[in-house]
Amino acid sequence: MAREIERKYLVKNLSFKKLARGVLFRQGYLSTNSEATVRVRIIGDRAYLTIKGANKGLGRLEYEYELPLEDANEIMDNLCLKPIIEKYRYRVEHEGHVWEVDEFLGENEGLVVAEIELEDEEEEFTKPDFIGEEVTGDHRYSNSNLVARPFKYWKQFE
Catalytic machinery residues:
29
Supply angle C-alpha 113, 94, 139, rounded to 5: 25
Residue from 10, 56, 17 nearest 34 by CA: 56
For residues 87-106, one letter each, b for 16 or more C-beta atoms within 10 angstroms of the residue's C-beta and e for the rest, the string is bbbbebebeebebbbbbbbe
DSSP annotation of 129: T
Name beta bridge partners: 8.
115
Give Cα 92 distance to the centre of its chain.
Answer: 15
Query: 3-class DSSP state for residue 127?
Result: coil
